[in-house]
Amino acid sequence: MDNYSDKRIYLAVEIEPGTLLRMIRNLLFLFTFLLFSEASAQFIVQGKVTDAETGDPIPFASVLLKGTTLGMNTDFEGNYSLSAKSLPDSIVVSYIGYLTQSKPLSNQAEQTLNFQLRPSDFQLEAFVFEAGENPAFEIIRKAVAKKKEFDKRSLTAYETKNYTKIEIDIDHVAEEFAQRKSVRKVTAVLDSIKQLTNDEGEKILPIFFSETLSKFYYRNNPELRKEIVEKSRVTGVGITDGSTTSQITGSVFQEYNFYKNWLSILEKDFVSPIADGWKAFYDYDLMDSVLVGQDSCYMLQVYPRREQDLAFSGTIWINKETYALKQVDLTIPKETNLNFVERIKIQQELVPTPPGPLIPSKSRIQIKIGQVTPKTAGLLAKFYTSSDSLKLNDPAPTSFFNQAVVLKPDFNTGNEEFWRANRQDPLSSEELAVLQMVDTLKRIPVIRFYTEGLKFFATGYLPVGKMDLGPWPGFFNYNNVEGIRLGVGGRTNLKFSNKWLLQGYLAYGFKDERFKYTGSVTRVLDRNRWTTMRLGSQREIEQVGLEIASLEGNSIFLAASRFGTLRRAYMSTKHELNFQREFFKGFLFSAAVNVAQFEPLYDFYYLDKDTRDYRSRFETTEARFALRYGRDEIVIINDNERVSFGPSKWPIVQLNYARGLRWLGGDITYDKLSFYLYQRLNMGMLGVSRYELDAGKVFGEVPYPILKNHLGNETLFYTSAAFNTMNLNEFASDQYLSLRYRHFFEGFLLNKIPLIKKLKWRAVANANFLYGSVQDKNVENSPNRDPNGNPLETFGSLDPYVPYVELGYGIENIFKFFRVDFFHRMTYLDNPEAKPFAVKISAQIIL
C-alpha cells in the first residue's frame, strides 16, 4: 500500500567534474556579492568651499556629515571629498570668521555640493583661565624656541620652481561713480561678457591679470635672492609693455616668512604670531587638536592684544610632535592702524625639507582697498604662489645674484596651450572670465584715455610711439629771473632701442630771453652686470645749494624752490661723460669727467689766489669716482634704467671722490671727499626709524659755491633732505658731519588714547645734527664787498665745537593724507633772521 508522505521524485543529471567546479565558484562569488554588497556600498560627496564676497577658496574649513564623526578639512584650493557607507540628511561646513552653512544631501552615489561662506562679524571671545597658565602659551613658547630649526633662512641655498598669478579688480563701485558718463560707456561694452559679481550682487570689474613661471634662487651668508622669469603673461588696463611689469609680478616680491619676527607688507612691518616677543602683542586660544594631512596639529586662534597694532588675527596650525608651523590663515583686520586697507589676508601651507626647515608650498594673499571717498570705488588684489621641484644646498656664486629679477629672452611667447600644460594649478571658470574681460576692457577707447592720462600724471611722461613726451612739470614755470618759462622734452623708450637711450628738453624764459636745455645719450653696454656709458650736456639756471642733481628725489620741494624768487641763481653750463658698472651684487662703481661753467646772476666775487684779482665767473673740470654698496638692495631694470626698491635690512653705503683739475681747463684745483650712509631700522613695537649720515671734506682753496652749502628750508613744505629751521645759504662748510634721524611711531603712542586712536593719527619725531667749519683761507677768498665797495652776499660758518641742532615732532595721517611737523631750533639762535620755531606741512599717500 502506497504511503503519500513517502513519495519522492528523483532526477538523475550527469555533470562533468570541470563544469561542476566552475558552477560552484560562480555560486560562491554570487553569494559573497549578495552578502557584502549592502555593507560595502559607498556614497561620495565632494565640492569646493569659497568666500562668498571674493570667490576665493577657503582652505582648512571644517566639512562634517551631520550627526556622524565623518569629516575633513578642505585643502588649499578649498576642495573636499568624503566617502561614507550611508548618508545623513545634511552636510555642514564651518570656519572661524565665517557663518556656518549646511546643505541637504540626496540619496545619490555621487554628488557635488559647493559652499559659499559669508564672512561673519562675530568675534570669538577669549577663554578665561581661572587657574594656571593658558595652555596655548606653552605651545607657542615651544614653537618659538624651535624657530631656528624650521626657518628656511638657515638653509645654505635652495631653488624652487614657482607659479605666480595676480588679479586686481575694482569692487564696491559707488552708484554715483557707476552713473558717470565715462563709466556707463565701459559697462555698456561689458554687458556682452559674463559679469562677475560678489555674493551681494555687486559687479566686480577686473583690470589686471598675470601669470608667471619662474625659478627662484636663495643663498645664505650673504642672504641673496634671484628670480629668473621663464614665462610671463600680463594683461591689464594701461599695461603697454610687459617687461617691467613681469619683473614685479613674480614670486620675489611675494615672500612671506612667518619665522621672521616682522613681516614687511606694503612697506609696513607686521609682527609674526611666533615672534620672539609674542606675548607683548598677542593672545591665543587653543581651539582643537586636528589631523592635517598625516600630521596631528594644534589649532590655535590668535588675535592682537590691541586692535590697532600692526598684528594678525586668525588661525595657525602647529605640529604636535615637532612644534613646526603647518598652516596659517591670518588676517590684518580693518581696525588696524592702516589707511584705505580694509583687509589683508594671508593663507599659507608649509612643507618640510629633508634637513628640516620649512618651505611654503602654497601662499595666497588678498589685499582689499576700500573706497577713498564715498563716490569712488574700491580695489581688490589677489596674489597666489605655489612652489615645487625643490633643490637644496647648491649655492650659486655671488655674481649670479647681480640682478634680482631676470627675464628670459622668450619670456612672453607662451600661448594658451603652453599655459594649460605648464601652470601648476588650472584656472577656474571665474579666472578665465577675468582674462576675457580684461582683454576687452583695455581696448575700450575711454579706458585707454584715462589710463594713459593717469600714467602721464604719475610718471611725468606720455608714451607716443617710440618716444615719451615729458616730464610735464617742466612744461611751465614762473620765477623772478625767467618770468614765464615754457618748455618741452622727451626721451626714447624700449620700442626705440634696448641699448640706446636719448633724452632731453628745451625751455625758454620770456624775461631773461634765454634758452635752456639738457640732452644726453646713454649706451647700455651690459644689462646683466648693469653697465652704461652716458654723454650729457646742460645749460640751465641753478641755485647755490639747491642744485637740480642733488634734489632729484625731492620733486615737490624742488618744484616749489624753483617757483617765485630764486636765491643766488646762476647760469650753469655742464658737459659730462659718465661710466658706471655693477661689479657684483649691490656694488656699483661710477666714474665721470665733468666740465662746468659758473655764471652768477647775482652779485658775486671771489679772490683768485694766483692773480689776487676779484673774479665773478669760474670754470671747473672735475674727475669723479663713486662706490656704492647695498648688500640686500632689490634692483630691477625698468626699460633702459636701473631702479632700486631700497634695502631690506642692511645699510646703503656710498663713497665719493672728486678732483678739480686745472690742466684740463679748470680755474681751480681742489679735492672733495664725501661719505654717505642710509639705513632703515625696525624698532619693534616702537615703530620704524630711518637715519642718514653724511660726512665730507673739501681740500684746497675754493669759492663758496664749491663748498658744501647746507640745505635749508624756507618753504612751508616739509622735506627730509633739508634742515627745516635753517635759512637757505645760511651755512657752508669745507668739512662737515651731519646726522638726520627720523622716527615713525606708527600707532605706538596714540593707539592707547581712547579718543585719538579712532582718528588713526600717528606720531613722528625728528632730530637733525650738523657739525661743520670753514678754513680761514676759504673765508678770506669770499669778500663781503665787491671792488667798488658794494656789499656782497656771502655765507655763514659753523663753530666747529658747537653743532647745529634742530628737534621736531609731529602728527601724520591727519584725514589720511596730511602731516604737520613742529621744529625747534636749539642752537645758533643769535643769527640774524634765525627762526627758533617752524611749522611745516606735507601731503602724502601712505598706508
Are 57 and 76 spatial neighbours (Cβ–Cβ below 8 Å)?
yes
Tell me: do 37 and 81 sit in the same domain: yes
Residue 235, H or E segment: strand 224-236
Residue 25, H or E segment: helix 17-40
Name the DSSP letter for residue 741: E
Spell out a b/e string for 406-438, using b for 16 or more CB atoms within 10 Å of the CB, else e. Answer: bbeeebbebeeeebeeebbeebeeebebbbebb
Alpha helical stretches, state H, 388-444: 416-422, 429-441
Q: How far is CA 510 from CA 40, 514, 538, in A?
A: 95, 8, 19
Give the structural domain span for 804. 674-847
Tell me: do 833 and 703 sit in the same domain: yes
CATH of the domain at 95: 2.60.40.1120
Q: Is the pTM of this model over 0.85?
A: no
Q: How far apart are the first and last CA of the chain?
A: 114
DSSP-based three-state secondary structure for 23: helix
Q: Residue 31: inside a domain, yes or no? A: yes
Q: Residue 794: inside a domain, yes or no? A: yes
Alpha helical stretches, state H, 328-406: none
Tell me: do 810 and 714 sit in the same domain: yes
The parts of the chain modelled with pLDDT lower than 70 are: 1-41, 121-132, 172-203, 238-253, 371-376, 443-450, 553-556, 847
Q: Please write the tens of the pLDDT for every residue from 161-212.
A: 999 888 888 776 655 656 666 666 566 555 544 555 544 445 677 888 888 8
Contact partners, residue 766, CB within 8 Å, separation at least 6: 724, 740, 741, 742, 743, 806, 807, 808, 809, 810, 821, 823
**Distance between CA atoms of residues 196 and 198, nearest Å:** 7
**DSSP letters spanning 107-124:** S-SEEE--EEEPB----P
Q: Residue 841: inside a domain, yes or no? A: yes
What pLDDT, on the 0 to 100 scale, is given for residue 833? 85
**Distance between CA atoms of residues 468 and 484, nearest Å:** 24
State how many domains the chain has: 3
Q: Residue 495: inside a domain, yes or no? A: no
Question: What percentage of the chain's residues is helix, strand, coil (to nearest 5)?
Answer: 15, 45, 40
Last residue of a domain, one of 410, 429, 459: 459
Tell me: do 170 and 46 sit in the same domain: no
Q: Residue 321: inside a domain, yes or no? A: no
**Bridge partners, 537 (sequence order):** 519, 575
Q: Residue 347: inside a domain, yes or no? A: no
Are 114 and 93 spatial neighbours (Cβ–Cβ below 8 Å)?
no
Last residue of a domain, one of 412, 437, 459: 459
**Distance between CA atoms of residues 760 and 765, nearest Å:** 17
Nearest to 836 by CA among 809, 806, 810: 806
**Distance between CA atoms of residues 412 and 231, nearest Å:** 6
Tell me: do 678 and 826 sit in the same domain: yes
CA 319-321-325 angle, to 5 degrees, is 25
Tell me: do 690 and 839 sit in the same domain: yes
Q: Residue 278: inside a domain, yes or no? A: no
Tell me: do 819 and 693 sit in the same domain: yes
Tell me: do 44 and 191 sit in the same domain: no
**Distance between CA atoms of residues 472 and 464, nearest Å:** 14
Last residue of a domain, one of 459, 488, 505: 459
Tell me: do 196 and 109 sit in the same domain: no
Are 403 and 226 spatial neighbours (Cβ–Cβ below 8 Å)?
yes
Name the DSSP letter for residue 289: E
Q: Residue 353: inside a domain, yes or no? A: no
